[in-house]
């Protein structure tokens, strides 16, 4: 018996000549993108490409997350809640992808990492300007972080601007106020350069929302979307901590931080404290 041909012929209408038209590679600038991986190890180390690709793809996802966060914040500012929620839903999927990515880097053993670590010099993920933009947009403001980017004027300018602007949560509170909710005025006129701290009156406001979800559905849904974002961010932080501990143990980080201990302290940081505090009230 004759076997089934293991071949799929090209359909007649498939484009094959790109001498005068744009190809997939042209649109995505793959010549630029795929030439950006330049290992420095000498002699070449097999696992350096993994390390570079892991962090470059993370930066691409962070770029998209900053884009979506800025848009969600702007939409809240104009009280366009539905599209803002759509942006937040996309942000969660980006976060899950970033967290899953750590599993690839976790295949790097301590011995393999030791071969490429000298070539990283003082570079560190701590110096990711886009990661700091995400933190500032979510409300984890820290003026000291701006100075880390004194060598990069564009990045420093973006962070300095975000430092002095309301965060996503600040814009949500302003939106609530415009909708008639009793948001304390001090939260609407505060110093945006400082991180938000728990406000008991705001906990009361959210307790009322959670006590009657059907009456406050848009606000209720937004609260849960924000909790999802923070939860996903904490999962990313924890997975990062696990992978670092697995690969380098308790060594000092390449950027000078204490490494694992520094990352562990970040787990105590919160963006939306009232949305967690209110959970203690529900059902009481």
276 annotated ligand-binding residue:
no
Asked whether residue 238 is marked as a ligand-binding residue, the answer is no
On whether 55 is known to bind a ligand per the annotation, the reply is yes
Question: Is 113 a known ligand-binding residue?
Answer: yes
Other CB atoms within 10 A of residue 259 CB: 20
Taking alpha carbons only, the member of 129, 125, 189 closest to residue 153 is 129
Q: Which two tokens stand for residue 23?
A: 């190809």
Is 254 assigned to a binding site?
yes
- Cβ atoms of residues 208 and 274 within 8 Å: no
Binding residues for heme: 240
Binding residues for substrate: 51-55, 113, 117, 254
Binding residues: 51-55, 113, 117, 240, 254
């Amino acid at each position: 018996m004759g076997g089934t041909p293991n071949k799929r012929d090209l359909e007649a209408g498939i484009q094959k000549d790109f001498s005068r038209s744009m190809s997939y590679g042209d649109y995505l600038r793959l010549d630029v993108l795929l030439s950006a991986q330049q290992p420095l190890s000498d002699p070449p180390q097999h696992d350096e490409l993994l390390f570079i690709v892991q962090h470059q793809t993370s930066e691409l996802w962070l770029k998209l997350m900053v884009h979506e966060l800025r848009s969600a914040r702007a939409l809240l500012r104009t009280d366009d809640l539905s599209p803002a929620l759509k942006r937040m839903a996309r942000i969660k999927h980006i976060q899950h992808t970033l967290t899953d990515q750590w599993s690839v880097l976790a295949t790097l053993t301590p011995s393999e990492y030791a071969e490429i670590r000298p070539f990283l010099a003082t570079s560190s993920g701590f110096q990711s300007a886009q990661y700091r933009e995400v933190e500032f947009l979510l409300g984890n403001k820290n003026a000291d972080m701006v100075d880390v980017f004194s060598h990069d004027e564009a990045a420093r300018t973006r962070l300095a601007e975000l430092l002095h602007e309301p965060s996503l949560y600040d814009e949500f509170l302003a939106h609530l106020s415009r909708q008639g909710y009793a948001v304390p005025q001090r939260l609407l006129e505060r110093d945006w350069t400082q991180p938000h701290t728990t406000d008991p009156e705001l906990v009361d406001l959210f307790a009322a929302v959670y006590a009657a979800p059907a009456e406050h559905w848009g606000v209720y849904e937004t609260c849960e979307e924000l909790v999802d974002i923070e939860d996903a961010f904490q999962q990313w932080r924890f997975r990062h901590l696990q992978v670092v501990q697995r690969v380098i143990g308790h060594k000092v980080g390449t950027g000078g931080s204490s490494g694992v201990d520094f990352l562990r302290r970040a787990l105590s940081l919160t963006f939306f404290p009232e949305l967690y505090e209110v959970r203690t009230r529900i059902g009481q």
